[in-house]
Amino acid sequence: MPRTAVLAYSGGLDTTCAIAWLREDYGFDDVIAVLVNVGQVFDVEEAMARGDAAGAADVVLLDRKEAFASDQVAKAITTNALYEGKYPLVSALSRPVIAEAVASLAEELGAEAVVHGCTGKGNDQLRFELAFKARYPGVTVIAPLRDRIWTREEEVAYALAREIPVTATEDSPFSIDENLLGRSIEAGVLEDPWAPPPAEPYALTAAPDTAPVPVEVVVGFEAGLPISLDGRNLSLVDLIHELNTAAGAYGIGRIDMIENRAVGIKSREVYEAPAAIVLIEAHRALEDLVLTKDELRLKRGLEQRWTELVYDGLWFSPAREAIDAFVAATQRPVAGDVRIQLRPAAAIVNGRSSPNALYAETLASYAAGETFPHDAAEGFIRIAALETELAAARERSGSGEAAQTEA
């Protein structure tokens, strides 16, 4: 029987070279390259031609953009997912979608192995392999770039020697991953944390100093999810596309961070995610208006843990699903509108409104007509202070005993 491997194929340099490696170095007869559409901008014909040139038996295109939006992206918004307070999990969210599609096809074909193009120092190896194992238990996983260390210069030379067309060159060495939610950029000059990011790799965002006059947009939410922009109902995919364009013009969503990778090293990462930053800011502001104090306190801690689980490749985990259940329960009243000003490098919440608001102006106001029960405050404080006073008395008593002992 022919030996078959199914590859998570992006059309980029690493996975294009991997097709040839699998045939030449690993002895596979057939390499099926699976190109999964999660909303990235790419030339399908060019990617397929590159796969063919590298020796793929077939290049399969699978459209998972809507599924990606309705599952991973939607959950990230309702969870306010920002890894280390900055990164909206752009690449991390797409990996389980891609890996599940690859593993499903591999199982259907009875393939001997599934393959990814990640290195041994990256996060994506965890995300792909844990997802592969969750969806195709027992399958062999091959990581050519982990088995042998290749520099990008060596990869470019390898591809060109085999007449495989590549987009990365020694003059443009950036590694870019892209999907509906945004773009991640690394390698090249970005590996120097002192060097400013050049303008060249940016595509979704403009430099903040070229931004137009600030404008306001209104995002409408229902059950925690954005459903409209400036009063127009839109699908989540279309809403993200429009916000990426609108907010990207102001440089919103440019993220340059020193990130703690799952494998224990720090890396310099640059991201573009205009819509994600705007939507998370808006969603969090609406939650502040409608959720109870304890719901918010519990959710903020669980948001961080959810983000860490997904970042570390544990999308298919009971812990993530359990947190999702809590988040879903909190989102039922999260409905209303949020007004956001787009200005250079910032999305500023200027107003929020909800039919389910727990904010009561007559209670919070200091103006005439306010209804707060001031006469109840003294008794509330007396009861709240009981433990504090008892603890203070105990401390004083202990200090007095200590002083008498020393005397």
Give the Cα separation of 398 and 390 in Å (integer): 12
- Residue 29 falls in the annotated catalytic set: no
Token look-up 């969603």 returns: 283
Nearest to 6 by CA among 125, 114, 138: 114
Strand intervals (E) in 165-236: 175-179, 182-186, 215-222, 225-229, 232-233
Which of 335-368 are b and which e, b meaning 16 or more Cβ less than 10 Å from the residue's Cβ? bbbbbbebbbebbebeebebeebeeeeeeeeeee
| Residues 127 and 92: beta-carbon distance below 8 Å | yes
CB neighbour class for 208 (10 Å; exposed up to 12, middle 13-18, buried from 19): middle
Question: What tokens does 34 get?
Answer: 């699976």
Please say if 267 is a catalytic residue: no
DSSP state at residue 185: E
d(CA 362, CA 372): 7
* Cα 368 to Cα 364: distance, rounded to the nearest angstrom: 11
Q: What does residue 156 show for φ and ψ, rounded to 5 degrees?
A: -60, -45
Is there a catalytic annotation at residue 14? yes
Candidate list 23, 50, 64, 95, residue with the active-site label: 95
Spatial strand order in the sheet of 113-115: 58-63, 30-37, 4-9, 113-115, 140-142
Place of tokens 């404080």: 381
- Rounded to whole angstroms, what are the CA distances from 17 to 31, 229, 377? 12, 42, 71
Give the C-alpha distances (Å, rounded to integers) separating 87 from 81, 316, 363: 8, 20, 37
Residue of 256, 288, 260, 259 lying closest to 272 (CA atoms): 256
Known catalytic residue: 175? yes
Extended beta strands in 127-214, E state: 140-142, 175-179, 182-186
Report helix, strand or coil for 371.
coil
Tokens for 251?
């440089």
Q: Which of 94, 175, 184, 354 is catalytic?
A: 175
Cα dist from 361 to 262, 334, 355, 358, 366, whole Å? 46, 19, 14, 10, 9
What residues act catalytically?
A: 14, 95, 124, 175
